[in-house]
Amino acid sequence: MKEIITIKDKSFIKFISKEEISAAVDRIAAKINEEYKDEIPVILVTLNGAILFAAELIQKLTIDCVVSAVKMSSYHGTMQSSAHVKSLVGLSEDVKDKRVLIIEDIIDTGNTYEHMVELLNENQAKDVAIATMTFKPTAYTKSIPVQYVGIEIPDKFIVGHGLDYQGLGRNVPDIYQLYKEEK
């Protein structure tokens, strides 16, 4: 894989290999298999960013589970996270009295996560937890616990392995970090 890639007006430097992500997936899957062995959870994949991470993680789950997806808007192709989160694809699964596990690509400010927890509480989920591929602890503004973290990263923009910059880069297997602006 290339060390530097360019997407639109920005260049990115290789940061996390897909092998490191796979190792994190194995670690998280083992914990989830233990935690949810007695009750069938609803696994909620957040579109579009979590698709690659979720595909790997779900295959490693040996428990019975229901898999569904939701899509939230919070990011608008810019590099700024927005506080106004709304559901673009809503909850199709009945979560009442069920344990729900959200699968995310990244937790940045936590606005999206907080919004989802509120939505799931309104729908009377029994409990809600999250498994996220990456987490930016210094950008996180919420107090809701983040249960399963793949890799903690600094507060710097990343792309690849599901994450996009202005719609591109989701298919890149490794994760790249913002390097410099191209002219």
For ligand IMP, the binding residues (CB under 6 A) are 49, 74-75, 81, 105-113, 157-158, 163
105 binds Mg ion (CB under 5 A): yes
Binding Mg ion (rule: CB under 5 A), the pick from 46, 81, 111, 132 is 46
| Residue-wise burial string across 45-60, b where 16 or more C-beta atoms lie within 10 A, e elsewhere | bbeebbbbbbebbbee
Select 56 or 105, whichever has its Cβ closest to Mg ion: 105
Select 16 or 95, whichever has its Cβ closest to ligand IMP: 16
Catalytic residue among 9, 64, 108, 155: 108
109 binds Mg ion (CB under 5 A): no
Tell me the H-state helices in 2-91: 18-35, 51-59
**Contact partner, 7, from ligand IMP, Mg ion, none, Cβ < 5-8 Å per class:** none
Candidates 4-12, 104-112, 118-126, 130-138; binding stretch for Mg ion (CB under 5 A): 104-112
**Contact partner, 108, from ligand IMP, Mg ion, none, Cβ < 5-8 Å per class:** ligand IMP
- Rg (C-alpha) for the chain, rounded Å, is 16
66-75 vs 81-89, strand pairing mode = antiparallel
Q: Is the distance from CB of 133 to CB of 151 less than 8 angstroms?
A: yes
Instruction: Mark residues 114-153: x for contact with Mg ion by CB under 5 A, - for none.
Output: ----------------------------------------
Q: How far apart are CA 28 and CA 130, in angstroms?
A: 11
Rounded alpha-carbon distances, angstroms, from residue 58 to 21, 142, 175: 14, 27, 20
| Distance in Å, CB of 163 to ligand IMP, minimum | 4
64 catalytic, yes or no? Answer: no
Going by C-alpha positions, the residue among 174, 146, 147, 142 that lies closest to residue 158 is: 174
Q: Which residues are catalytic?
A: 108
